[in-house]
Amino acid sequence: MANTTFTGPVRSQNGFQSITKSATTGAVTVDATFGATTSVTNLTTTNLTTTNLVFTDQNHPSTVAINATATATAAQVATGYITSTSAAATIITLPTGTLLGAALGATKGTVLDLYIDNTGGASTVTIAVATNGILSTAAADSAASFGDLTVASGVTGLARFTIMFSSATAYVFTRTA
């Protein structure tokens, strides 16, 4: 499909770009790209606090499998969706804040939802945080809910964890579903 400029709302199955066009030169600048991954490059703020958020496609077009105890790579976590079909108990250790922050281009305020899918597994998956990753206060205070790092197997074996960066190299980790 050709590039087309609209002045009203646009719907697309393959994402879209928000642009500005110079009235003087006619030059077009891409301000934001929206789709499976979202980026905003030119943002003018008025009474707005900006954060570097990582938006992920909730259909997770790329997933990774970790079927044995291991440290997940930053690239694996950055997909936002990890599956496990192991028959044995599995511990997945998250990457350090430095490695994950670099992979995401994180700054203070970056947020990533991480889904763990153990519906095809026959034993539990436990998530462990690494250096520069800490459990949130909610997780520490409510170990049975926000701090539950074990994902059951079978039909209830889905969990969502939220990773929130307090700096480019450190994150806070909480179970949110």
Task: Give the DSSP letter string of 54-68.
Answer: --B-TT-S--EE--S
What is the pLDDT of the chain when averaged over all its residues?
81
Is there a single domain that holds both residue 144 and residue 76?
yes
Pair (84, 166) in one structural domain:
yes
- Each residue of 17-55: pLDDT tens digit? 777 788 888 888 777 766 655 555 555 554 444 455 444
Q: Is residue 58 part of a domain?
A: no
pLDDT of residue 62: 76
Task: State which residues form the domain around 158.
Answer: 64-175
Per cent of the chain over pLDDT 70 is 73
pLDDT for residue 72: 96
Whether residue 105 is found in the same domain as residue 139 = yes
Q: Considering the domain boundaries, does residue 20 fall inside one?
A: yes
165 and 91, same structural domain?
yes
105 lies in some domain = yes
Of the pLDDT bands very low, low, confident and very high (cuts 50, 70, 90), residue 57 is: very low
Is residue 110 in some structural domain? yes
This model's pTM is above 0.75:
no
**Of 170, 87, 160, the residue nearest 127 (C-alpha):** 160
37 shares its domain with 108:
no
Which range among 4-8, 16-20, 149-153 has the greatest average pLDDT?
Answer: 149-153
Please check whether residues 150 and 74 belong to one and the same domain: yes
- Note whether residue 2 is domain-resident: no
| 78 and 40 co-located in one domain | no
pLDDT computed for residue 142 by the predictor: 76
Let me know if residue 72 belongs to a domain: yes
Closest CA to 74 of 50, 59, 54: 54
Q: Is residue 36 one of the residues assigned to a domain?
A: yes
Q: Is the Cβ–Cβ distance between 113 and 56 less than 8 Å?
A: yes
> What is the domain count for the chain?
2
Burial class, 160, CB count within 10 angstroms (exposed 0-12 / middle 13-18 / buried 19+)? middle
Torsion angle in degrees (nearest 10) through CA of 78, 80, 84, 90: 60
Choice between 153 and 137, residue whose per-residue pLDDT is larger: 153
Q: What is the mean pLDDT of residues 95-101?
A: 95
The pLDDT of 72-88, averaged and rounded, is 94
Domain shared by 146 and 69, yes or no: yes
